[in-house]
Amino acid sequence: MNKESDFPFERARRVTPEENQKFREAISQQFGIKLRNRDLSAQNDDNDAEKYELISLKLHPKVLAWAIEESQKRGIGYETVINEVLLERIS
């Protein structure tokens, strides 16, 4: 295979969720890190999906550091933490 397009996609198969979990566990064990689950609740919930809008935002480094630290404590994404704090503030 000289080029990326030379890969035989017609013979490839999808990885099952069980295989994906085994891969994640092997990576965690081999490298001694804990992989966190991606928080896709906003994308997966049909009722809420339309409420979210993709944007680009510049944040102060201290705000971002706090959000990342908080997200690691809670096991969720830092963007979810920021969104929850903003929603609390406007309520």
Other CB atoms within 10 A of residue 23 CB: 12
**Domain boundaries along the sequence of the chain:** 4-90
**DSSP state letter for 32:** T
Q: What is the pLDDT of residue 71?
A: 92
Residue type, 91: S
Question: Which residues, other chains included, contact 52 with Cβ-Cβ below 8 Å and sequence gap of 6+?
Answer: 42, 43
68 pLDDT above the threshold of 90: yes
pLDDT digits over 7-49, tens only? 888 888 888 989 988 999 999 999 998 877 765 554 555 556 5
Residue found by looking up tokens 């809008």 in the block: 53
Task: Answer for the pair 79, 68: CB distance below 8 angstroms, yes or no.
Answer: no
Q: Specify the pTM.
A: 0.49
